Amino acid sequence: MVKHTDHTVTVLDKLTYAGNRASLAGLPEDRVRLVVGDIADAGAVDPLVAEADAVVHYAAESHNDNSLHDPRPFLDTNIIGTYTLLEAARRHQVRFHHISTDEVYGDLELDDPARFTEHTPYNPSSPYSSTKAGSDLLVRAWVRSFGVRATISNCSNNYGPYQHVEKFIPRQITNVIRGIRPKLYGTGENVRDWIHADDHSSAVLTILDKGEIGQTYLIGADGEKDNKTVVESILELMGQPTDAYDLVTDRPGHDLRYAIDSTKLRTELGWTPTYGDFDSGLAATIEWYRQNEAWWAPAKDGVEAFYASKGQ
């Protein structure tokens, strides 16, 4: 992995319910600056982009369950926010990298030998994934029409430390820590393609360094697992019986399976993931949640109340 020790980073974050200042604790203060603001606010965005060498656009409303409950913030941040950043990148001719998701491709059958590639047609299912698909198309249009120097990456499901407790893996780990049984939607047969967040970051850095302008790269680490298997691993690693979970109301429109073919990124840019063994990455993640209850505890009760209101 390429590592830079001389760059400075400005984090523009609205600090919604999903943001947390404490996630920046311990980073060098002379090289990492937090600006609290909205990517859809051109007045906040413009001066920051004007002084940047590159914009890496991670900001998004990202949670499917929330988008099914209230889609509007997804349109505001994912569509208008991306448009606002692109316009600033265009004005100031700044290199742009857009972070997106494999969910833009819809889902696959469980027994389909195919995986998503850069050529798979877009077919998003949820309000969340449709706004991410729309944002990808905006980036492509700004490259072609206005010459913005942009690349796009579409990544599979991330796991690791600092992930909000609304997401599947941290929700189940923190449930077990709290003495609550893990909750599996539907039958638990849905498959996700897991990648450690550090591997996602190294892929993004590789694309920023070596990616070809106008190109899309899929990021994945061959980590397909069904949800039931993941919950059983969490229970086993946490010393619980592996059947100590509940099956709960399924997510409406629940995508069945995601699977990434990351051949292009690996062969053209030479990227490889470093977390080969899911169970050891999961064990380290469990340990992080055990050690960092102060980071996640303030959000836990609200998240569980939201899920409980939907029978999940």
By CB under 6 A, name the binding residues for ligand DAU. Answer: 62-64, 101-103, 156-157, 167-168, 171, 183-185, 190, 192, 227, 251, 258
279 is catalytic: no
Spot the catalytic one: 105, 128, 245, 275: 128
Which residues have C-beta within 8 Å of that of residue 1, sequence separation ≥ 6?
A: 202, 205, 206, 274
Q: Do 214 and 204 meet the contact criterion of CB atoms below 8 Å apart? A: no
In whole angstroms, the minimum distance from the beta carbon of 96 to ligand DAU comes to 19
Spot the catalytic one: 103, 193, 255, 304: 103
In whole angstroms, the minimum distance from the beta carbon of 168 to ligand DAU comes to 3
Amino acid at position 183, single letter: K
Q: How far apart are CA 312 and CA 186, in angstroms?
A: 10
Query: Closest by alpha carbon to 153, among 196, 81, 211, 68?
Result: 211
Given the complex with ligand DAU, which of 39 and 184 has the nearer CB atom?
A: 184
In whole angstroms, the minimum distance from the beta carbon of 91 to ligand DAU comes to 29
Given the complex with ligand DAU, which of 98 and 171 has the nearer CB atom?
A: 171
Which residues have C-beta within 8 Å of that of residue 194, sequence separation ≥ 6?
A: 156, 157, 158, 159, 221, 223, 224, 225, 230, 278
Given the complex with ligand DAU, which of 213 and 247 has the nearer CB atom?
A: 247
128 is catalytic: yes
Given the complex with ligand DAU, which of 229 and 272 has the nearer CB atom?
A: 229
Q: How far apart are CA 91 and CA 113, in angstroms?
A: 44
Which residues have C-beta within 8 Å of that of residue 24, sequence separation ≥ 6?
A: 11, 32, 34
What residue is closest to ligand DAU based on CB?
101
70 is catalytic: no
Spot the catalytic one: 38, 102, 166, 304: 102
Please list the active-site residues. Answer: 102-103, 128
